[in-house]
């Protein structure tokens, strides 16, 4: 089935064990990174089991692409959502009733409808697959109340297996999902969160518009996503890019649904280079050739950041994830957090924000930090895939400067936040400093020979090494930990990594498609686009870039040759194989020496 339907010779890590568990009708909980091949885990068993697999997906805008991709592989699939008219809905109900569907995609809101639940109870179901399962957990980064209705699946369908999938779940969120869904002795898979092909980088945010344009200048014609926090920023950035001749479109929840759908479709179909979006964009996006994800504002939490960067490099080829970091973004996010009505909800949001600040502000391997957040230990000394590891980094002794910061904390009774302590060290002449008589303390001005941003970096390092702790909400004060006391008294020394700005570059990683005929690839890409327009689907649904790269290396000249190409299953072979063989044959007629030479 893997070979004939999907055109693959081997499973990716964890796919086979998940599929076998579904075939054994066992409940599944699987954490798999974006690009890890989750969809195959439920599409393949749906073809091997009797009945219809119900796939719960949160975004209506993605269902059509998912169904189109399944149908292109020969899987009878449909979706049911508010975009369908009455006649189309009736047709889906008819196909469900007469067991003509192997996959039915629905939104959680649809499942919550009592009459729909009754319809499902009368149908022959093979299993339930829940995508983006973290949405059911209030501890997750994207909790959606609509997902709570899914907790009734086991009550209503006790004999039907449930497979829950997510790309982002801490151990705590995992336990919450399993409990809420009532999974019974589930087979649990926690794949590695590492995406080796992604290069993580954080740069100081200065004139962000200029920085964005400079980045895009170095990445011409590459497909990418730029995330902004507000709708106004999205609109302004998209307009700026268009004014500079860059094909870009905006995407945010304030746009009419039709315009959002149209813009996303244009991006999927490679009609625009860049989509500028709020986090409303992208959950579960299947576009495989996104070469960069740029965060122009500080993300609200690590889970969201990990998932958003995960849109890049789904084809396993190198991609960049760049975050522009400014502490000026922190008050904007705190404003939204402070407006939350529940204290518990605010506390969770503050904790998550501090984790993001730590990730961006500490000179520690980005990959190690990300994996550690999800409970995974990175096994190597350096990753060579982030700005810290690929940059020029040296270890420096910062004990004396750390003692200056810790002495200022001690002198003020550990009752103040970072801003006041930094003012004290740099000798700021403020009204508050005079009122508190802190300008008379011995610690006042002890660090005036260096800029405030330097002392901020020292304090960040002490926080990262847990020599200083933050306590209290909404305005945390700084406290000296036992480790900090050891540093202050001279019993312990403290070292830190210092990164030379501007030295870190993404490593030159060998592309899986390296060595292919670029001229032929361009022609096959044009043919793919033409066929995709005829089928009204995104080009990557016909064949991925990776599949076209392989064709451009091996020059398949018969349908038998074409069958050997990864990603060419029986249905796609019959539907498209002849056209691509014809294009390759014509190309070799024009360039007879091509197959015998390297044109990379």
Q: Token pair 């200056």 is at which residue?
A: 404
On whether the CB atoms of residues 516 and 600 are closer than 8 A, the answer is: yes
Instruction: Work out the burial of residue 358: count CB atoms within 10 Å of its CB; fewer than 13 is exposed, 13-18 middle, 19 or more buried.
Output: middle
DSSP of 456-505, one letter per residue? Answer: HHHHHHHHHTTSEEEESSSS-EEEE-HHHHHHHHTSS--EEEEEPTT---
Query: Is 504 part of a structural domain of the chain?
Result: no
pLDDT-derived band at 282, boundaries 50, 70, 90: low
Is the same domain home to 447 and 373? no
Q: Which of 331, 364, 392 represents a domain boundary (last residue)?
A: 392
Residue 270's closest CA among 71, 523, 64, 532?
532
- The CATH number linked to 491 is 1.10.10.10
Percent of the chain surpassing pLDDT 70: 94
Query: Is 282 part of a structural domain of the chain?
Result: yes
C-alpha triplet 487, 489, 492: angle, nearest 5° = 35
The predicted-structure confidence for 406-444, as pLDDT tens digits, reads as follows: 999 999 999 999 999 999 999 999 999 999 999 999 999
d(CA 178, CA 187): 11
Percent of the chain surpassing pLDDT 90: 54
Is the same domain home to 257 and 347? yes
Per the structure, the count of domains in the chain is: 4
Q: Which of 190, 208, 240 represents a domain boundary (last residue)?
A: 190
Give the residues across from 393 on adjacent strands.
499
Q: Which domain holds residue 415?
A: 394-499
On whether the CB atoms of residues 406 and 500 are closer than 8 A, the answer is: no
Is the same domain home to 163 and 246? no
- The CATH number linked to 305 is 3.40.50.300
Give buried/exposed letters for 235-251 (b at 16+ CB in 10 A, else e).
Answer: bebbeebbeeebebbbb
* pLDDT for position 514: 57
Is the same domain home to 252 and 168? no
511: number of Cβ within 10 Å: 16
pLDDT-derived band at 513, boundaries 50, 70, 90: very low
pLDDT-derived band at 393, boundaries 50, 70, 90: low
Is the same domain home to 370 and 384? yes
The torsion defined by the Cα of 28, 31, 36 and 38, in degrees rounded to 10, comes to: 40
Tell me the residue ranges of DSSP E strands in 47-123: 52-56, 77-80, 103-106
Is the same domain home to 384 and 404? no
Judge whether residue 284 has pLDDT over 50: no
Highest mean pLDDT among 223-227, 393-397, 505-509: 223-227
Judge whether residue 281 has pLDDT over 70: no
HEC per residue, 438-461:
HHHCCCCCCCCCCCHHHHHHHHHH
Is the same domain home to 481 and 532? no
Is the same domain home to 45 and 170? yes
Mean pLDDT estimate for the chain: 88
Query: Is 15 part of a structural domain of the chain?
Result: yes
Tell me the residue ranges of DSSP E strands in 317-472: 319-325, 393-397, 468-471
Cis peptide before 474 (omega within 30 of 0): yes
C-alpha triplet 254, 260, 263: angle, nearest 5° = 135
Is the same domain home to 173 and 262? no
Q: Which of 376, 392, 408 represents a domain boundary (last residue)?
A: 392
Is the same domain home to 181 and 240? no
Query: Is 505 part of a structural domain of the chain?
Result: no
The predicted-structure confidence for 336-373, as pLDDT tens digits, reads as follows: 888 888 888 888 888 888 889 888 877 788 999 999 98
Query: Is 133 part of a structural domain of the chain?
Result: yes
Task: Say which residues have a Cβ less than 8 Å from residue 491's Cβ, sequence separation at least 6.
Answer: none
Range 385-393 average pLDDT? 81
Residue 302's closest CA among 357, 339, 228?
357
pLDDT-derived band at 465, boundaries 50, 70, 90: confident
Query: Is 513 part of a structural domain of the chain?
Result: no
Is the same domain home to 494 and 542? no
d(CA 586, CA 580): 10
Is the same domain home to 410 and 485? yes
pLDDT-derived band at 384, boundaries 50, 70, 90: confident
C-alpha dist (Å) from residue 108 to 84, 135, 233, 264, 474: 16, 10, 31, 22, 35
pLDDT-derived band at 37, boundaries 50, 70, 90: confident
pLDDT-derived band at 484, boundaries 50, 70, 90: very high
- The CATH number linked to 570 is 1.10.150.80
Query: Is 150 part of a structural domain of the chain?
Result: yes
Query: Is 323 part of a structural domain of the chain?
Result: yes
The more confidently predicted of residues 474 and 390 is: 390
Residue 188's closest CA among 26, 13, 369, 72?
26
C-alpha dist (Å) from residue 2 to 29, 307, 316, 551, 566: 22, 27, 19, 20, 11
């Amino acid at each position: 089935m893997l070979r004939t339907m999907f055109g693959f010779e081997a499973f990716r890590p964890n796919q086979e064990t998940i599929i076998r568990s579904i075939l054994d009708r066992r409940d599944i909980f699987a954490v798999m990174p974006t690009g890890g091949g989750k969809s195959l885990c439920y599409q393949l068993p749906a073809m091997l089991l009797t009945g219809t697999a119900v796939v719960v997906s949160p975004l209506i805008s993605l269902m059509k692409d998912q169904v189109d991709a399944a149908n292109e592989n020969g899987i009878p699939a449909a979706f049911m959502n508010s975009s369908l008219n009455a006649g189309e809905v009736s047709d889906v109900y008819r196909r469900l009733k007469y067991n003509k569907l192997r996959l039915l995609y629905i939104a959680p809101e649809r499942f919550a409808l009592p009459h729909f639940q009754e319809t499902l109870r009368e149908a022959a179901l093979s299993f339930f697959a829940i995508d983006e399962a973290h949405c059911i957990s209030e501890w997750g980064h994207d909790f959606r109340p609509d997902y709570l209705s899914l907790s009734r699946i086991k009550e209503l369908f006790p004999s039907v297996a449930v497979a829950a999938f997510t790309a982002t779940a801490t151990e705590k969120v995992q336990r919450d999902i399993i409990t809420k869904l009532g999974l019974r002795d589930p087979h649990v898979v926690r794949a590695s969160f590492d995406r080796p092909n992604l290069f993580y980088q954080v740069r100081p945010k200065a004139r962000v518009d200029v920085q964005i344009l400079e980045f895009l200048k170095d990445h011409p014609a590459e497909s990418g996503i730029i995330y902004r926090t507000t709708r106004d920023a999205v609109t302004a950035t998209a307009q700026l890019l268009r004014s500079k001749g860059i094909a870009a479109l905006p995407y945010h929840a304030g746009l009419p649904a039709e315009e959002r759908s149209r813009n996303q479709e244009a991006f999927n179909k490679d009609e625009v280079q860049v989509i500028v979006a709020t986090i409303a964009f992208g959950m579960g996006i299947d576009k495989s050739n996104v070469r960069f994800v740029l965060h122009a504002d500080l993300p609200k939490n690590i889970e969201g950041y990990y998932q958003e960067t995960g849109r890049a490099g789904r084809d396993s080829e190198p991609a960049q994830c760049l975050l522009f970091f400014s502490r000026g973004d922190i008050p904007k996010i705190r404003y939204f957090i402070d407006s939350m009505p529940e204290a518990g909800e605010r506390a969770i949001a503050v904790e998550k924000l501090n984790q993001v600040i730590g990730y961006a502000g500490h000179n520690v391997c980005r990959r190690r930090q990300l994996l550690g957040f999800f409970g995974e230990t990175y096994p190597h000394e350096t990753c060579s895939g982030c700005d810290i590891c690929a940059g020029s980094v040296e270890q420096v002794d910062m004990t004396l400067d750390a003692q200056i910061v810790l002495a200022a904390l001690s002198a003020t009774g550990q009752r103040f936040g970072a801003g006041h302590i930094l003012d004290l060290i740099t000798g700021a002449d403020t009204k508050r400093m005079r009122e508190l008589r802190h300008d008379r303390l011995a610690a006042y001005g002890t660090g005036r020979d260096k800029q405030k941003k330097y002392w901020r970096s020292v304090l960040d390092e002490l926080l990262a090494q847990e020599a200083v702790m933050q306590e209290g909400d909404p305005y945390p004060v700084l406290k000296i930990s036992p480790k900090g006391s050891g540093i202050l008294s001279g019993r312990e020394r403290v070292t830190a990594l210092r990164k030379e700005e501007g030295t870190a570059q993404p490593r030159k990683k060998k592309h899986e498609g390296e060595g292919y005929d670029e001229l032929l690839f361009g022609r096959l890409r044009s043919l793919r686009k033409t066929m995709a327009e005829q089928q009204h689907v995104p080009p990557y649904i016909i064949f991925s870039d990776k599949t076209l790269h392989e064709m451009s290396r091996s020059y398949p000249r018969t349908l038998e040759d074409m069958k050997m190409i990864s990603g060419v299953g029986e249905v796609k072979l019959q539907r498209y194989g002849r056209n691509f063989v014809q294009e390759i044959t014509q190309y070799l007629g024009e360039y007879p020496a091509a197959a015998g030479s390297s044109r990379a």
